[in-house]
């Protein structure tokens, strides 16, 4: 079973990129972030014609998450813990696989910049809600994959130039501490379970030749419950998509589970 995550940075602008990826890699499940469209504007017909069921939690102009699956899915939209939060940043699905199920979430965690504004407080509070929800999901003892754009650089090895990120909300100590708290619930970072190699990135800014000079960061993660981690075979960063014409600034990360 292949499960991938990708911040597509406007699904309407990159429908062609998405359809090529579905054809070439054919993941069983693909989590999308930053759709930047309402549900009605999602390319339903094209995705369904490619052989996928789609569950979408959209928002006009920004945010937006989705889960595409070859199998039928049961869906919940929104992260519990704050009924006033209207941001479309979380969607969760139960997906049948052979004789069992896999629970998958697509996550678009808040950026939090500038860190001296209420945006950073919102990021930390959102992470606290995610930690609380993950704790409840782990009690189900199902294979669980929390996938998405976390807007978290976990460690210095996950960015080409750590000094450039010292004051950024993605790399502040409080941000990384909460990410560690999430992992300490019993979750496994899929990439780091398969390699300790530095220089593996999932995001390159559009500015200042970041892609050409490989000045990237790793902020797109798949976190696995023990039941999923035990089945992990490989983790792949599909880096080549960043070199396409008019690409997203993120690339997909893909895992294979037995």
The binding site for Mg(2+) consists of: 7, 34, 149, 151, 249-250
Q: Which of 17, 57, 221, 250 is labelled catalytic?
A: 250
Which residues are known binding-site members? Answer: 7, 34, 149, 151, 249-250
250 among known catalytic residues: yes
14 and 255 Cβ atoms separated by less than 8 Å: no
Collapsing DSSP to helix, strand or coil, 219 comes out as coil
* Region for 76 from its dihedrals, namely left if φ exceeds 0, alpha if ψ lies in -120 to 50, beta otherwise: beta
**Where are the extended beta strands (E) located within 61-117?**
65-69, 74-77, 90-97, 100-108
**How far apart, in whole angstroms, are the C-alpha atoms of residue 43 and residue 53?**
12
Half-sphere exposure of 208 (CA within 13 A, CB side): 6
149 among known catalytic residues: yes
Q: Which of 28, 149, 168, 189 is labelled catalytic?
A: 149
Q: What is the DSSP letter of 163?
A: G
Sign of CA dihedral 3, 258, 176, 213: negative
Q: Which of 90, 108, 150, 201 is labelled catalytic?
A: 108
Six token digits for residue 146: 């929390």
Partner residues linked to 101 by β-bridges: 96
Supply the residues annotated as catalytic.
108, 149, 250
């Amino acid at each position: 079973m292949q499960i991938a995550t990708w911040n597509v940075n406007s699904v309407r602008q990159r429908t062609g990129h998405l359809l090529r990826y579905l054809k070439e890699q054919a993941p069983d499940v693909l989590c999308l972030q930053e759709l930047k469209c309402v549900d009605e504007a999602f390319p339903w017909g094209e995705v369904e014609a490619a052989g996928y069921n789609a569950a979408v939690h959209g928002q006009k102009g920004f945010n937006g998450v989705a889960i595409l699956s070859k199998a039928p899915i049961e869906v919940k939209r929104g992260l519990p813990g704050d009924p006033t939060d209207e941001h479309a940043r979380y969607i969760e699905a139960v997906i049948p696989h052979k004789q069992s199920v896999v629970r998958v979430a697509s996550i678009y965690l808040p950026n939090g910049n500038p860190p001296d504004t209420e945006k950073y407080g919102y990021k930390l509070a959102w992470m606290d809600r995610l930690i609380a929800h993950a704790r409840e999901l782990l009690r189900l003892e199902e294979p669980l994959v929390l996938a998405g754009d976390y807007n978290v650089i976990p460690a210095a090895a996950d960015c080409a130039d750590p000094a450039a990120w010292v004051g950024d909300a993605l790399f502040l100590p409080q941000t990384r501490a909460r990410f560690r708290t999430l992992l300490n619930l019993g979750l496994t970072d899929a990439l780091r379970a398969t390699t300790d190699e530095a220089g593996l990135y999932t995001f390159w800014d559009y500015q200042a030749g970041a892609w050409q000079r490989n000045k990237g960061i790793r902020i797109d993660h798949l976190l696995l419950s023990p039941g999923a981690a035990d089945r992990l075979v490989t983790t792949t960063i599909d880096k080549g998509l960043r070199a396409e014409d008019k690409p997203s600034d993120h690339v997909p990360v893909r895992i294979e589970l037995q």
